[in-house]
Amino acid sequence: MKALFIAFAFVVSAQALSLAAGYEQGVQLYNQRNYQAALNAFEGAQLTNTQSDGNIFYYMGMCFRQLGQSEKARQCFERVLVTYPRSQAAGYAQQAIGSLGGGGSHSSGASNAQISALINNVLGSSRSGSSSGAANNYGTTEGPSTANIPFQRGNGGHMMVNALVNGHPLQMIFDTGAENVSLGKEHLAQLGIEQPTGPPRGKMMGTSGAVPLWIMPLTIQAGDLKRTIPVAVAEHLSTPPLIGQMFFKDYTCSVDSASGIVRLSKGGSSQGGYDAIKVPFSTSGQELIVDAEIDGHSTKCIFDTGASGVVLTMTQAAAMGLQIPDYAQDTGTTGVGGNKSGKMFNVRTVRLGSVVKNNVPVLVLQGTMPYPLLGQTVFRDRNFSIDNANRVIRFPR
């Protein structure tokens, strides 16, 4: 620990930077091992310092660590990684996270909502911090006013996008039912991108279970839209990588199924040039929750372009009074966490507002999910627009 302390103190304090007095005082107090006083100095310095290399937050993390507050230390280090991903301090922060061990409140895993909260907290911190350009290193408020993302239909009707991850080509699913951009460690290895280190930050939940995950900043480009954002990296992802709401949530998202293009626009809602059926939605985390009917049984569902069909659990089916017929086929699904068994059968109707689909296959799985999934079998042959500003999905009549 002493050697580690000396190395960090030497490398960071030796940088030839013009630093505010509060920062200089903090470094001096830290080197004197007066960690609480150093922390106070750094917290004051962050309000006035205009540097954009992340040193202040790295040092705050080191102070919290020395004071035995590992979770606060981890939050500071993650802020450096996400807000200043290309800085020298980010390299030190990554090493420091690895030395924290697996303890703390996340050792038992975190839900999707907790993971999104972590990412959003870091996003909020980066936007309210330095105005010298640090916040512009990444974030979901930057980008063109309009963008087009071409897609092709894959197996199960998935919307497959030819994306770039740190400049390397990777095919990904455009998935409105995913909160974040997600990929597996195997995808990083395939692209030659260094994998995250240290203990996992939580678990990635999916239809097939949960797997450990890490959060790291990556530059994602899909069509005309390019952003450096925090990405959820799973130990293993048995599906193609996912482009979720974190990437495009500040846009109105219009899906032109006939042309195979997702059209993104800012600056107000998009009516799409048609008389529209309007389906209101709420959000859980960043997932879109709609009111639907399955064979006349009302239920809330996730509007999920990343799901090939309608998926719910045995418990959800029983709660809404949906009976599984004797002729239902034994089948399963592949998703985050691997494979899961279930029953497949057709229902007479699925209704989403005034949009009605007849003779729809439904998959009922063992296990748990927060909501049923409303997937491509319901809307793949239709154009629609997701208006995040007004919280409605519009379908042409």
Predicted pLDDT at 88:
67
Contact present, 338 and 212 (Cβ < 8 Å) = no
How close are the terminal C-alpha atoms of the chain, in Å? 67
Question: What is the rounded distance in angstroms from the CA atom of residue 257 to the CA atom of residue 271?
Answer: 16
Averages of pLDDT over each 10 residues, the chain, 397 residues: 34 36 81 90 72 75 90 82 68 73 38 54 44 37 85 84 96 86 93 88 61 87 92 85 88 90 77 72 84 95 88 90 90 58 91 92 84 90 88 90
Predicted pLDDT at 36:
93
Pairing of strands 182-184, 225-234: parallel
Nearest CA to 236 out of 192, 176, 198, 190 is that of: 190
Contact present, 202 and 111 (Cβ < 8 Å) = yes
Predicted pLDDT at 223:
95
Q: Which residues of 203-212 are buried (b: 16+ CB within 10 A; e: fewer)?
A: bbbbbbbbbb
Pairing of strands 310-313, 355-365: parallel
Phi, psi for residue 306 in degrees, rounded to 5: -90, -5
Say whether pTM exceeds 0.85: no
Predicted pLDDT at 267:
66
Phi, psi for residue 195 in degrees, rounded to 5: -80, 155
Residue position matching structure tokens 């599984």:
324
- Half-sphere exposure (CA, 13 Å, Cβ side) for 379? 30
Predicted pLDDT at 260:
92
Q: In what order do the strands lie in the sheet containing 146-150?
A: 146-150, 261-265, 252-256, 384-387, 392-396, 276-280
Predicted pLDDT at 205:
59
